[in-house]
Amino acid sequence: MKGNSQPDKTTALVHWTYSYKEWKNFVLWKKMNKGWLHYLFYLLLPKRKPGLPFAVITSAKVYTEEANETFHDKDHAVKRVSIRDTGKMNILEISYEINNDDKAGLKDIFIPIPKGKLREAIELQEKIGPNP
């Protein structure tokens, strides 16, 4: 699911860019949720890629500077899309199920919502969420 391919600009539902501080806060939050060991390794060996951090979300995939993840296709089904308030930032959480025999199970994608983009995130939540 990782790669460098970019979506066609016409298929993007949102294209968000982040300040380095926003992205750093998000990465620290993500590492903390994985456990203290991940958090300590990140603090000791931080990695920073050139260019502005970004997230592009289509109806089926999330593209970030770190990875590309599919959440909706013949092998992936969206289960829940929610917005989480973590205090310092809001996080878009996409929970999906993998229906492939090799990797079956539930997974989550976390994407930070940039300052001033909460309304856009709510609209996105309605567009990509599972149908009732």
Residue bearing the bigger pLDDT, 35 or 24: 24
Residue type at position 100: N
Q: How confident is the model at residue 1 (pLDDT cuts 50, 70, 90)?
A: very low
* Token pair listed for 123: 């609209």
CB 100, CB 66: distance < 8 Å: no
Indicate the range of 48-52, 62-66, 101-105, 114-118 predicted with least confidence.
48-52
pLDDT digits (tens, 9 = 90+) for 50-59: 678 999 999 9
Q: Which residues lie closer than 8 Å to 88 by C-beta, 6 or more apart?
A: 25, 29
**Look-up of token digits 């958090």:** 39
The pLDDT of 19-29, averaged and rounded, is 88
d(CA 14, CA 17): 10
Q: Is the dihedral of CA 57, 61, 64, 69 positive or negative?
A: positive
Angstrom CA distances, 6 to 22, 31, 65, 94, 122, stand at 22, 25, 10, 20, 24
| 64 has pLDDT over 80 | yes
User: Each residue of 67-101: pLDDT tens digit?
Assistant: 899 999 999 999 999 999 998 899 999 999 998 77
Length of the chain: 132
Q: What SS3 class is residue 78?
A: strand
Smallest CA-to-CA distance from 29 within 106, 96, 110, 107 is with 110
